[in-house]
């Protein structure tokens, strides 16, 4: 006996019902259809794959993430149309669609320089999840295309948008570039008006293969003068990386080990252990 319901036994949604669900105005209906495709695990034909691409335009993060994952099931015959559609969406007037396409391309292993502008846009987002996802993709892109990505990040570290300045510094940190312009950018950023940018700069300074001599002086200045307690604690921790052989660092750490601030005290104790360990 046949089953005329949208869901046939053991087969998930029937093709026509699933395609209607993928085109639904309701994000949760689309998400359920994506889960059905993921469970089936079959290569997507072009029609289904392009319907999944359309799901990337929703601002619902769970839907965008699942759509990007499901697109990895695209069959060989569908892939050219999928990539063309995603690349076209990078120029969409809709921010959610631009980000969804950017994220999906990254998940498909496409981290070409064409992604740099939308990734910079995402690094400035108010959404923390989006910023850090964009940062991870920018690190991948920078590892493959440093000549394009590094200048863009250095420019971003001087932009008027604090969130973008901060995230650009974190990407520079994780790229671990030996470009001589990077230390100068970090030393400029430790004097930024925004505490979050200063924190990022301190974090990045500790990851330099060879920190400039001024780095410890700048970090000591933050320990003694910065108005933000989080920056002072981070700077104290950074002395464990930058303060070897510097008398001022040892003095600051010793004083902070007796601080009334438990966070500063812990940072100082950790810095002391690091400096007392092997070089």
pLDDT, position 13? 63
* Residue bearing tokens 């901060």: 166
Q: How many Cβ atoms are within 10 Å of 160's Cβ, its own excluded?
A: 6
Residues 6+ apart with CB under 8 A from 251: none
pLDDT of residue 12: 53
Report the pLDDT value the prediction gives residue 5, as an integer from 0 to 100.
36
Q: Tens of pLDDT along 42-71?
A: 999 999 999 999 999 999 999 999 999 999
N- to C-terminal Cα separation, the chain: 76
| Concatenated DSSP letters of 12-63 | EE-HHHHHHHHT-S-HHHHHHHHHHHHHH-PPB-HHHHHHHHHHTTS--HHH
Partners of 8 in beta bridges: 12
The model's pTM: 0.90
Q: Torsions phi, psi of 7, nearest 5?
A: -110, 115
Phi-psi category of residue 165: left, alpha or beta, with phi > 0 → left and psi -120 to 50 → alpha: alpha
User: What does the DSSP 8-state code read for residue 70?
Assistant: H
Give the side-chain half-sphere CA count within 13 A for 78: 20
Q: What's phi and psi for 126, nearest 5 deg? A: -75, -15
Q: Please, are residues 240 and 272 in contact by the beta-carbon 8 Å criterion?
A: yes
| Other beta carbons less than 10 A from residue 93's beta carbon | 6
pLDDT confidence of residue 122: 98
CB 259 within 8 A of CB 237: no
In which residue are the tokens 């250095």 written?
154
State which fold the 213-279 domain adopts: 1.25.10
Cross-strand pairs, 199: none
Which ranges of the chain have pLDDT less than 50?
1-11
Q: What is the pLDDT of residue 185?
A: 97
pLDDT in tens, 116-167: 999 999 999 999 999 999 999 999 999 999 999 999 999 999 999 999 999 9
Residue 195: per-residue pLDDT: 98
Number of CB atoms found within 10 A of residue 57's CB: 18
């Amino acid at each position: 006996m046949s089953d005329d319901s949208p869901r046939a036994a053991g087969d998930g949604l029937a093709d026509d019902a699933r395609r209607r669900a993928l085109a639904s105005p309701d994000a949760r209906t689309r998400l359920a259809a994506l889960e059905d495709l993921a469970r089936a695990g079959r290569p997507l034909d072009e029609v289904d794959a392009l319907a999944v691409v359309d799901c990337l335009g929703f601002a619902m993060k769970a839907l965008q993430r699942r759509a990007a994952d499901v697109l990895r099931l695209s069959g060989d015959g569908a892939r050219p149309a999928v990539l063309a559609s995603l690349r076209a969406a990078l120029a969409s007037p809709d921010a959610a669609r631009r980000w969804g396409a950017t994220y999906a391309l990254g998940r498909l292993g496409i981290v070409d320089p064409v992604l740099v502008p939308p990734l910079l846009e995402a690094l400035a987002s108010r959404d923390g999840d989006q910023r850090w996802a964009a940062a991870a993709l920018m690190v991948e892109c920078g590892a493959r295309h440093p000549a394009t990505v590094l200048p863009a990040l250095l420019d971003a570290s001087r932009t008027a948008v604090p969130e973008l300045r901060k995230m650009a510094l974190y990407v520079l940190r994780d790229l671990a570039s030996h470009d001589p312009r990077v230390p100068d950018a970090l030393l400029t950023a430790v004097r930024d008006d925004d505490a979050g940018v200063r924190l990022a700069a301190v974090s990045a300074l500790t990851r330099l293969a060879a920190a400039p001599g001024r780095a410890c002086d700048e970090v000591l200045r933050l320990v003694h003068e910065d108005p933000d307690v989080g920056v002072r604690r981070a700077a104290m921790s950074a002395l464990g990386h930058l303060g070897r052989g510097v008398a001022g660092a040892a003095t600051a750490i010793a004083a902070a080990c007796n601080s009334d601030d438990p966070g500063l005290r812990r940072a100082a104790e950790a810095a002391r252990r690091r400096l007392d360990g092997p070089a």
